[in-house]
Structure 1
Amino acid sequence: MELGFIILIVAILCVMAIVREFKAQNMFGVAFAGISALVFGFFSIATLYWELIRPLFES
């Protein structure tokens, strides 16, 4: 479960990097930060779902 929260923090930092790179007009950086935000965001949500939400619905 801790891994999901750590990955979520990394995804939030990637979103902050997207904003910073847009201001600097660095589209290469925006692309890498965007891809990283999507990947880390997906894995953080999937991990938190698997560890927190799914066990609530199991019988």
Structure 2
Amino acid sequence: MGTVIIFALVALLALYGIVRTLREKNILGFLFGLGAFAVFGWFTVMTILHHGFPTGTH
């Protein structure tokens, strides 16, 4: 379940990259950021829905 947390952080960084590239008017960076956010965000959401939110104990 640690990978879900890491992928969620990557999705958040991709979202930050999307916002930053919009300010700089960088279309290619926006497209790559949007793709990364879509892939990592979808994986994170579906894993949390399927396996539940990761807890500290096993």
Q: Counterparts of 1:18 and 1:36 in 2: how far apart (Å)?
A: 10
Runs of 4+ in 1 over 2 A off after TM superposition: none
RMSD after superposition: 1.2
**TM-score, L = length of structure 2:** 0.82
Q: Counterparts of 2:24 and 2:50 in 1: how far apart (Å)?
A: 37
The number of residues matched between the two structures is 53
Choose 1 or 2 for highest CA Rg: 1
Q: Counterparts of 1:38 and 1:3 in 2: how far apart (Å)?
A: 16
1:48-59 equivalent positions in 2, closer than 5 A: 48-52=48-52
Q: Counterparts of 1:25 and 1:11 in 2: how far apart (Å)?
A: 20
Describe the superposition over 1:10-54 as per-residue Cα deviations: whole angstroms up to 9, x where unpaired: 00000000000011110110011001100000001112222216x
Aligned residue identity for 1:19: V
Determine helix, strand or coil for the equivalent of 2:41.
helix
Structure 1: gaps of 5 or more residues: 54-59
